[in-house]
Chain A
């Protein structure tokens, strides 16, 4: 297994108690969280919706990982993720989603981010902690584990 490096998560991009009307609304809220921390320009958000229409980013464990298409790469300023939780759940093409981890990345940076995120979600206790953590600090600890330095 590759080492897990800290994921680029700004505390301001963690929203624990959001409500979405539907899947596209949830994706737009992720996009706005990435926009608010200066990671992207607004046009990236529509490429996140396009990406979802062409291929679902649902990965199980009530988690979806919306991200943009190659066409949106020019509108990414720096790699970043956001965590937006929807406690009431969002219908994601028949699956229930309560956590969205939105991803913005330049080049193929999202591949590394997705892989690291997948490693975290594969541990059921960590996936549950992501869904249930009571505060932002808990989410940050989960995604930016202290003392697990990457050798890269």
Chain B
């Protein structure tokens, strides 16, 4: 299991373009990947609805998790997107 915890830096939070880029990147992966607020229920990181419903705002911490081939690179890439200002 690969896991990264990052702070969301974008002013809009994980909404709008950051959310779209995040989900599009996750959806290209051939393995399952989840997104959660720290201590919260993980949701499917490939679903724009799930990510929007999670309602992550600027400054909140999230955990990205994946398992399987390429999981390390995937969570690394997604962590970079989620933490980009």
> Chain A interface (Cβ within 8 Å of chain B)?
1-2, 55-56, 59-61, 108, 111-112, 114-115, 118-119, 121-122
Q: Which of A2, A56, A60, A111 touches B47 (beta carbons < 8 Å)?
A: A60
Q: Are B49 and A111 in contact (CB under 8 A)?
A: no
B47 to chain A, nearest CB (A): 7
Given A118-B49, A122-B50, A122-B53, A111–B12 Cβ distance below 8 Å? Answer: yes
Contact-residue size bin, chain B (C-beta under 8 Å from the other chain): 10 to 19
A-B CB pair tally, cutoff 8 Å: 39
> Chain B interface (Cβ within 8 Å of chain A)?
12-13, 15-17, 20, 41, 47-50, 52-55, 57
Q: Are B48 and A115 in contact (CB under 8 A)?
A: no
Q: Are B53 and A119 in contact (CB under 8 A)?
A: yes
Complex-state Cα separation, A55 to B15, whole angstroms: 12
